[in-house]
Amino acid sequence: MTPQQSINQRDNDISLVGLGPMGLALGAALVRKGHAVTVWNRTPEKADGLVALGARRADTVAEAVAASPITLMCLNDYDTMYEVLGPATTALAGRLLVNLNSGTPNEARAALEWAGTHGIDYLDGAIMVPPPLVGEPGAVFLYSGARDLFDRHRPVLASLGDPRYLGAEVSLAVLYNTAMLEMMYATLNGWLHASALVASANIPATEFAELALDWFMPTVLDPASLARRAPALDAGDYPGTLGTLAMNLNALHHITRTSEEQGIHSAQPRLMREIAERAIAAGLGEGNYLSVYEIFKKPDGA
């Protein structure tokens, strides 16, 4: 890259560090949307496809970040980000770093502090879609940090999908991200364990899915019905008039015992049963099942 190219930066120039499966998808979406994209990756040949599409390959990370007013990071974790950006902090000063790596709230707060000590503007972010959906209109990206930085760079961030601003507290993007991933894994595990339960009687997952998912979606996982129940969590209001937690404990016993009887793994239902038992021991047995929320809000063993 010539010095002239880095002097003539336009607002929609963007640099991208990290070309795993997700970084490659980000790069392709940005090139498609007409951005001048400069990329760097530890393994340089992973950029070949993007270069063929029109991206520019930087030889060093410092050269990459100097090419644009914004740098997107898409690495495996925060520690790798510090390692990779170590030689590029001077080049990044006065520019925006948008970190899309996964991590924890404390890691996001530490990254903001680190950026501040180097004069780097910082937003934290999280990607809520798999690589093939990046750049599509419904692709949700979460951001947190200074509002003015988000507002100023929103048009560029919108090229990746639907940017949602969560607030000035920089850790909110990773907090929401982990909460939403927890919903995903818990739901998937419920379906997988239930499929294993009927598979123990030689029923294929496809046959079970046909009936079970037809029941599950409108009855249990209907978004409107869950949204109607969310105010009860905020209010701590769990009337047991239509069914108590004590009654639900019976069902959790049955799932655990049936798993054991059928010779499949039983740790998952046992854990759900133990949480319900803890809630009952805390005096919540006459409320409805949602009252286990009170147990989840406290640290283990409290």
- Give the binding site for ligand NAP (CB under 6 A): 18-23, 41-43, 46, 74-76, 80, 83-84, 100-102, 127, 130-131
In angstroms, the Cα distances linking 94 to 1, 109, 287 are: 21, 19, 54
Min dist. Cβ of residue 193 to ligand NAP (A): 23
CB nearer to ligand NAP: pick between 161 and 287: 161
The secondary element (H helix, E strand) that includes residue 57 is strand 56-57
Min dist. Cβ of residue 90 to ligand NAP (A): 19
Min dist. Cβ of residue 170 to ligand NAP (A): 16
CB nearer to ligand NAP: pick between 22 and 98: 22
Min dist. Cβ of residue 81 to ligand NAP (A): 9
CB nearer to ligand NAP: pick between 81 and 279: 81
Report the residue closest to ligand NAP, judged by CB.
Answer: 20
CB 174 within 8 A of CB 128: no
d(CA 144, CA 105): 11
SS3 content of the chain, % helix, strand, coil (to 5): 60, 10, 30
Structure tokens at 160: 């990746």
Q: 3-class DSSP state for residue 145?
A: strand
CB nearer to ligand NAP: pick between 19 and 276: 19
CB nearer to ligand NAP: pick between 18 and 287: 18
CB 168 within 8 A of CB 147: yes
Min dist. Cβ of residue 134 to ligand NAP (A): 9
Structure tokens at 11: 């607002």
